[in-house]
Amino acid sequence: MRRMHLEALTVGGLVLVFAGTAPAASQALQPHRAVYDLRLSESNDDADIESLKGRWVFEFSGSECVGYTVKSRIVMHFAMTDGPRMIDQRITSFEDARGETFRFVTKSFIDQDDENVVEGTARLSEGKTVVDYTGPQKAQHEFAPALFPIAQLKELLAKAAEGENFYQTRVFDGTEYVEEAVDVTVVLGKPRPVGEDDDERKALGKLAEDEFFPVTAAYFDNDSVGEQVSDYNVSFKLHENGIQRDLLIRYTDYSMKADLVDIELFDEDRECEVEAK
């Protein structure tokens, strides 16, 4: 069974570090705590999944002045043909405001006792990405420039604001021990209002008055790009403040939904206001 890649979607650059150009003006990313219910959308016989239910709690804080912190926990209960299975993934990361340094710790548990830890620091250095892992083993890997998760989100918002409908990028998110970044192809739709019949409208609260962009992102491992078949892809609704919802994650043999059920908006970092004066 494939491990979860949700972190890449949700924090998964306003400063386009690698493009060398400034994006269109955009509002600040909204610090918040969001809760999503997870459920099976569909599966084929190869998946051996009878049902899936779970919860994802995602907390985002920080600002352009102090950098960004993400805390995420996903717990999923699978009913498999050979018995129950539980996956618990916990992610903590910090990314500086310019998207040049990224610290990450990802802990994954299967049935509470099979622990896997991916930990380290990634940085941009002399036109390349350098990743220093401290777990599961000490190692250093270098590869072509890639965006870190918040930089990826900022880039996505900038492209949406500029009216782009298709682009490609590269991302390193620290959720797995890898020696290369992931290639991502993104399709963006035009902004739309939240419909009266939107299932998440009640959970959105005042955000229901905002517009969102429909997004589909396809993620390719390096060994799958030539086949033009994505490792997995995600469709979701992206609000201008960076909040994402109504996610549909499609893997080869199954897909799952992440429905927003609660959101709490935090005050913006006051240090930014002081620095601006």
User: What are the pLDDT digits (tens) for 169-182?
Assistant: 999 999 999 999 99
Give the model's confidence band at 27: pLDDT under 50 very low, under 70 low, under 90 confident, else very high: low
**Residue bearing tokens 């970092």:** 269
Q: What is the pLDDT of residues 64-105, one digit of tens each?
A: 999 999 999 999 999 999 999 999 999 999 999 999 999 999
Of 6, 15, 7, 8, the residue nearest 158 (C-alpha):
15
Give kind and range of the element (H or E) at residue 192.
Answer: strand 192-193
Are 58 and 37 in contact by the 8 Å Cβ rule? The answer is: no
* pLDDT of 234 strictly over 70: yes
Domain count across the chain:
1
**Residue bearing tokens 């960076």:** 242
Compute the distance between CA of residue 182 and CA of residue 250 in angstroms, rounded to an integer. 16
Whether 232 is covered by a domain: the verdict is yes
pLDDT at 222: 65
Cβ burial of 181 (10 Å; 0-12, 13-18, 19+) is buried
Length of the chain: 277
Whether 222 is covered by a domain: the verdict is yes
pLDDT at 9: 39
Compute the distance between CA of residue 184 and CA of residue 232 in angstroms, rounded to an integer. 10
Give the model's confidence band at 273: pLDDT under 50 very low, under 70 low, under 90 confident, else very high: low
Amino acid identity at 274: V
Whether 1 is covered by a domain: the verdict is no
Q: Please report, for residues 53, 198, 233, the alpha-carbon distance to residue 237 in angstroms, rounded to integers and kept in the order given.
A: 21, 11, 14
Measured in whole angstroms, the distance separating CA 44 from the mean position of its chain's CA atoms is 25
More confidently predicted of 225 and 86: 86
pLDDT at 223: 58
pLDDT at 267: 87
Amino acid identity at 46: D
* pLDDT of 229 strictly over 90: no
Give the model's confidence band at 115: pLDDT under 50 very low, under 70 low, under 90 confident, else very high: confident
Of 206, 217, 219, 225, the residue nearest 159 (C-alpha):
217
Tell me the backbone φ, ψ of residue 6, rounded to 5 degrees: -65, -30
Compute the distance between CA of residue 248 and CA of residue 218 in angstroms, rounded to an integer. 12
More confidently predicted of 6 and 210: 210
Q: Which of 23-37, 132-146, 244-258 has the lowest mean pLDDT?
A: 23-37
pLDDT (average), residues 155-167: 96
pTM: 0.87
Q: What is the DSSP string of 207-238?
A: GGGSEEEEEEEEEE-TTTGGGT--SEEEEEEE
Whether 2 is covered by a domain: the verdict is no
Whether 155 is covered by a domain: the verdict is yes
pLDDT (average), residues 270-277: 55
What is the span of the domain harbouring residue 226? 7-276
Residues near 45 by beta carbon (within 8 Å), at least 6 away in sequence = none
Residues near 277 by beta carbon (within 8 Å), at least 6 away in sequence = none
